[in-house]
């Protein structure tokens, strides 16, 4: 049986895993950690960068029909 091919594969796999783990550790160590809701500047108002529009509830007959059918 040819076990050298398996050994070489496992060596490469191990080296790749070490490189991936090391690079992930480096990124984690150098990235500044900020928790969600933590304000670092400004007057405490959280400002996001979402492209979605905020949809507010307005009472209409369609909402009433929906809520009545959902109950």
More confident residue, 43 or 28: 28
Q: Residue 39 pLDDT more than 60? A: no
Per-domain boundaries in the chain: 1-31
Q: pLDDT band for position 35 (50/70/90)? A: low
Angle in degrees, CA 56, 61, 67, rounded to 5? 75
With tokens 């950690």, the residue in question is 33
List pLDDT tens digits, range 40-64.
Answer: 566 666 666 777 777 777 888 998 8
Q: Residue 17 pLDDT more than 80? A: yes
Q: Residue 27 pLDDT more than 70? A: yes
Residues 6+ apart with CB under 8 A from 63: 57
């Amino acid at each position: 049986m040819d076990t050298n091919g398996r050994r070489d594969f496992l060596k490469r796999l191990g080296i790749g895993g070490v490189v991936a783990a090391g690079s992930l550790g480096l990124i984690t160590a150098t990235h500044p950690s900020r928790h969600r809701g933590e304000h670092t500047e400004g007057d405490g108002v959280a400002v996001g960068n979402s492209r979605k529009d905020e949809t507010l509830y307005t009472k209409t007959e369609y909402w009433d029909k929906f809520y009545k059918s959902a109950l």
